[in-house]
Structure 1
Amino acid sequence: MRSPALALALAALTVTACAPTPAPGELSASDQGGQARECFFTRNVNGFSAPDNETLYLRVGVRDVYQMQMFSPCLDMDWAQRLAVVSRSGSSVCRGMDATIISPGPLGEQRCTVRAVRKLTPAEVEALPRGSRP
């Protein structure tokens, strides 16, 4: 007969072996500084600012501000009076590849692919220059 301690150890090993692991090239929550992925619904975006053609700040709800980095320059995004945030994965955005920005450009509507999305901390929002805050 097996001892109860051995059976418990085998059970723990089995559970550990079945635990999810990140895919190659994907960071786990602990590798990302312990922060969980922050998502938002596109319908909750109520303001934006673009200090340049590659950076976009979105006001989501009352307090939250998200920073988006484009894959390449989104021409005249910094002069746009309006733009659209389109989610590729339903109605929420959690990472860069989830979103496309539609902005008026010099030759008509342009679609700009988002490379990275992150939620800013309250201290980071306060540190933004006045003209860059959404």
Structure 2
Amino acid sequence: MRALVLTLAVGALTVSACAPTAASGGGEVAATGGRECFFTRSVSGFSAPDNETLYLRVGVRDVYEMRMFAPCLDMDWAQKLAVVSRSGSSVCRGADATIISPGPLGEQRCLVRAVRKLTPAAVDALPAGSRP
């Protein structure tokens, strides 16, 4: 009996240590191990200044920059894109995301190599046409 109670207590501690925590801002952005994550359902706009860079508006005020592994043809001309998380419903790093974009020969899947949240100053420094 004592071993069972100890096992349950250790299991509960393990599960609670793995539980995500929400940062301020309505839970749309969560800090996980120093990384800032966002939920794909919170993406409200985008801009693509070229075929290798994508800026996402997340919620009302946050902007994330995504860098592609290779050029994502015609991403800069797309009217709509899909951000797909490969690790659930959130994106924390490049390996978590795939961009689906209409291309010249149909739908294309573009792998993301890097994701970072931009500071308000970095967002203000973006050219007007590049802001999502």
TM-score (norm 1): 0.74
Which residue matches 1:13? Answer: none
> Take 1:109 and 1:38, find their aligned partners in 2: how far apart are those partners?
29
Secondary structure of 1:38's aligned partner: strand
Q: CA deviation at 1:36?
A: 1.8
Match of 1:127 in 2: 125
Counterpart-to-counterpart distance in 1, 2:99 and 2:105: 16
Give the corresponding residue for 1:47. Answer: 45
Q: Which structure's residues are more often strand, by fraction?
A: 2
1:6-48 CA-partner distances (Å, limit 9, x unpaired): xxxxxxxxxxxxxxxxxxxxxxxxxxxxx92000000000000
Unaligned residue ranges in structure 2 (runs of 5+): 1-32
Report % sequence identity.
87
After superposition, the CA RMSD in angstroms is 0.9
TM-score w.r.t. the length of structure 2 is 0.75
Alignment partners' CA distance in 1, 2:57 and 2:42: 8
Write the deviation string for residues 47-96 of structure 1: whole angstroms up to 9, x where unpaired. Answer: 00000000000000000000000000000000000000000000000000
Provide structure 1 residue ranges, at least 5 long, that are not aligned to the other structure. 1-34
Distance 1:104 1:126 in 2: 29
CA distance in 2, matches of 1:120, 1:94: 13
For 1:87-126, what aligned pairs fall within 5 Å after superposition? 87-126=85-124
Name 1:77's counterpart in structure 2. Answer: 75
Larger Rg: 1
Task: After the TM superposition, list the runs of 4 or more consecutive aligned residues in structure 1 that deviate by more than 3 angstroms.
Answer: none
